[in-house]
Amino acid sequence: MGYEEFLKTLEEPAAGVPPDLRSPLAALWHERAGEWDRAHRIVQAEEDSPSAWVHAYLHRREGDLSNARYWYARAGKPVASVPLDQEWESLVQTLLEKRA
């Protein structure tokens, strides 16, 4: 699945998250579909670096920068300073590329 195809799945969120998405991408899908709590629960249950990175983004999105900094450190990533939508796009594209 490419980035444009990922975006198309969000046009009809009632159809649900695509079944083949790993947890970090599924969390980003849910967040963009307006389900922040569900996205947070998904990545909170994981221990891997990509999930920690998405977890950091989610806390940055909610405005909890202290918590976000913690999760960026857990992910081994610098604290993002780009606009939130740009970070979301970058996360999705990076995680989709790693699937290929």
Express each pLDDT in 8-53 by its tens digit: 999 988 888 998 899 999 999 999 999 999 999 999 999 999 999 9
Res 100: pLDDT:
53
Integer CA distances (angstroms), 13 to 5, 17, 67, in order: 13, 7, 28
Q: Tell whether 43 is covered by a domain.
A: yes
- Cα–Cα dist 33/12, whole Å: 9
Mean predicted confidence (pLDDT) in 79-90: 97
pLDDT at 92 over 90: yes
Q: Tell whether 13 is covered by a domain.
A: no
Q: Tell whether 88 is covered by a domain.
A: yes
Q: Tell whether 1 is covered by a domain.
A: no
The number of domains in the chain is: 1
pLDDT at 99 over 80: no
CB 54 within 8 A of CB 28: yes
Q: Tell whether 30 is covered by a domain.
A: yes
Q: Tell whether 5 is covered by a domain.
A: no
Q: Tell whether 9 is covered by a domain.
A: no
Mean predicted confidence (pLDDT) in 82-98: 96
Q: Tell whether 56 is covered by a domain.
A: yes
Mean per-residue pLDDT of the chain: 94
The H helix count followed by the E strand count for the chain is: 6, 0
Residue 67 belongs to what domain range?
A: 21-99
% of the chain residues with pLDDT over 90: 87
Mean predicted confidence (pLDDT) in 68-85: 97
